[in-house]
Amino acid sequence: MLSRSELVRRLLDHESGFAITPIIDTESQIAEASVDLRLGPDFIVAKRATGLSTFDPAQVDDIGERIRDYQDYMRRPVGSAFYLHPGQFALARTLEYFTLPREISAEVVGRSSWGRLGLVIATAPLVQPGFKGTVTLELSNLGTVPMVLYVGVRIAQATFYEVTR
């Protein structure tokens, strides 16, 4: 695992091929073993089913269109509220854009402070070496009251590992 000092050194070295942008505050966003990631502006929200419906993975030809019928896309400006209701599922992404060199991988997990409130933040936790892009977050409210999430709030954290070949 890369330490805070090693993370900062590599992020400042423009020749390293390692970048996370935008990082607003290195003092509060970069901890001893992780980097805090913020909630981005884009959401895909699953619509509540109003009748009997199923998704059959064996019907690969029409599943893409059927999924779009049950999802809404929305974009919110930084600082604005997004409401995640009990039992609701949404896809979001990080505000930060990653560029990982071939010798660094990452693991992304939800911040425990959100988990204690009933928010499950699932990702495909392993970010492969060479990845470029934002990380998709799967958000589920397991609590009993609506949750207000603000675009730009620290919601997940990434740890980085050196890959030996």
- pTM flag (> 0.75): yes
Domain positions in the chain: 4-48+62-162
CATH number 3.40.50.720 is the correct assignment for the domain at 4-48+62-162: no
Residue 11 predicted with pLDDT over 70:
yes
Spatial CB neighbours of 134, under 8 Å, sequence gap ≥ 6: 40, 93, 94, 95, 96, 97, 98
Query: Is-contact 39 155, C-beta < 8 A?
Result: yes
Percent of the chain with pLDDT strictly greater than 90: 61
The residue assigned the tokens 């425990």 is 112
Residue 58 predicted with pLDDT over 80:
no
pLDDT tens string 127-163: 999 999 999 999 999 999 999 999 999 999 999 999 9
* Alpha helices per DSSP H over the chain: 4-12, 26-29, 63-69, 112-115
Residues annotated catalytic, as ranges: 138
Residue 145: its pLDDT value, please? 93
- Alpha carbon distance 127, 71 (integer Å): 25
